[in-house]
Structure 1
Amino acid sequence: MEILQNMKLLAELIQCGGSIFTWCYNEEGALLGSNCPDEAFLSGVFELFGCKEQMLAYGTVHDTPLTLGTALGVLWSAAFEKEDGQLKRTWVIGPVFYQDVSMRAIEQGLRYYSRLETSVSWAMHLQKILAKVPVVQNTILHRYTLMVHYCLTGEHLCVSDINSETLPQVSDSPQLPAHDRHKVWMAEQGLLEMVRTGDLNYKQALSNSMTLSAGVPVHSDDALRQSKISVIVFTSLVCRAAIEGGLSPEEAYALGDSYIQAAESAKTLDDLNPLSLMMYDDFIRRVHKCRTNPKLSRPVQQCVDYIEMHLDQKIRASDLAPVVGYTEYYLTHKFKAETGLCINDYIKFAKIERAKVLLKSTDQTVQEIAASLCFSTRNYFSRVFLAVTGQTPIQYREG
Structure 2
Amino acid sequence: MDVFQNMELFSELIQCGGNIYTWCYNADGSLLQSNCPEAGFLSGAFDLFGCKKKMLDYGSRHTTPVTLGTAIGMTWAAAFEKDGSALKRAWVIGPVFYQDVSLRGIEQGLQYYNRLETSVAWTMQLYEALKTVPVLQCTVLHRYALMMHYCLTGNHLTISDINSEDLTQVRNAVQQPAHDRHKVWMAEQGLLQMVRTGDLNYKQALSASMGISTGVPVRSDDALRQSKTSIIVFTSLVCRAAIEGGLSPEEAYALGDSYIQSAENAKTLDDLEPLGLMMYDDFVRRVHKCRTNPHLSQQVQKCVDYIEMNLDKKIRAADMAALVGYTEYYLTHKFKEETGLSVTDYIKFVKIERAKVLLKSTDQTVQDIATALSFSTRNYFSRIFQEVTGQTPMEYREK
TM-score after normalising by structure 2: 0.90
Partner of 2:91 in structure 1?
A: 91
8 Å Cα contact 1:76/1:92 also seen in 2? yes
Partners of 2:205 and 2:357 within 8 A in 1: no
Distance verdict in 2 for CA 1:341–1:249, change over 3 Å: same
1:37-186 pair list within 5 angstroms: 37-119=37-119, 121-169=121-169, 172-178=172-178, 183-186=183-186
Judging changes above 3 Å, is the alpha-carbon distance between structure 1 residues 123 and 361 closer, same or farther for their aligned structure 2 residues? same
State the Cα deviation string for residues 62-102 of structure 1 (Å, max 9, x = none).
22322222333322111222234432221110011223333
Partner of 2:244: 244
**Does the Cα contact within 8 Å between 1:112 and 1:174 map onto a contact in 2?**
yes
Matched, 1:376 2:376: yes
Alignment partner of 1:176: what SS?
coil
Paired position in structure 2 for 1:10 = 10
CA distance in 1, matches of 2:247, 2:84: 76
Per mean C-alpha deviation after superposition, the further-off stretch among 130-139 and 25-34 is 130-139
CA distance in structure 1 between the aligned counterparts of 2:377 and 2:66, rounded to whole angstroms: 61
Instruction: Please say if 1:322 is aligned against 2:322.
Output: yes
SS for the counterpart of 1:114 is: coil
Query: Is the Cα contact below 8 Å between 1:170 and 1:219 reproduced in 2?
Result: no
Distance 1:298 1:271, change over 3 A: same
Shift >6 Å, 4+ stretches: none
How many angstroms does 1:280 deviate by? 0.3
CA distance in 1, matches of 2:90, 2:367: 58
For 1:361 and 1:140, the matched residues in 2 are separated by 41
How far apart, CA to CA, are the structure 2 residues paired with 1:22 and 1:92? 6
With over 3 angstroms needed to count, the CA separation of the structure-2 counterparts of 1:156 and 1:341, relative to structure 1, is: closer
Task: Give how far 1:287 is off.
Answer: 1.3
Shift of 1:235: 0.7
Supply the distance in 1 between the matched residues of 2:22 and 2:153 (Cα, whole angstroms).
17
Comparing 261-270 and 343-352, the one that deviates more: 261-270
Aligned to 2:284: 284
1: distance between equivalents of 2:197 and 2:137? 46
Q: CA RMSD in A?
A: 2.5
**Partner of 1:193 in structure 2?**
193
Q: Which amino acid aligns with 2:278?
A: M
SS in 2 for 1:37: coil
Give ranges in structure 2 of 5+ residues lacking alignment: none
Q: Residues 288 and 55 (structure 1 numbering): CA distance in 2 closer, same or farther, change over 3 Å?
A: same
Question: Structure 1's 184 and 126: CA in aligned 2 closer, same or farther, altered over 3 A?
Answer: farther
Worse overlay, 290-299 or 256-265: 256-265
Aligned length: 399
Task: Look up the equivalent residue of 2:205 and give its one-letter code.
Answer: A
In structure 1, the gaps of 5 or more residues are: none
Alignment of 1:355-370 (within 5 A): 355-370=355-370
Q: How many angstroms apart in 1 are the aligned matches of 2:89 and 2:291? A: 71
Cα displacement (A) at 1:303: 0.8
Cross-structure match for 1:214: 214
Deviation readout 1:100-121 (Å, 9 max, x if unpaired): 3333333333333334354555
Distance 1:203 1:153, change over 3 A: same
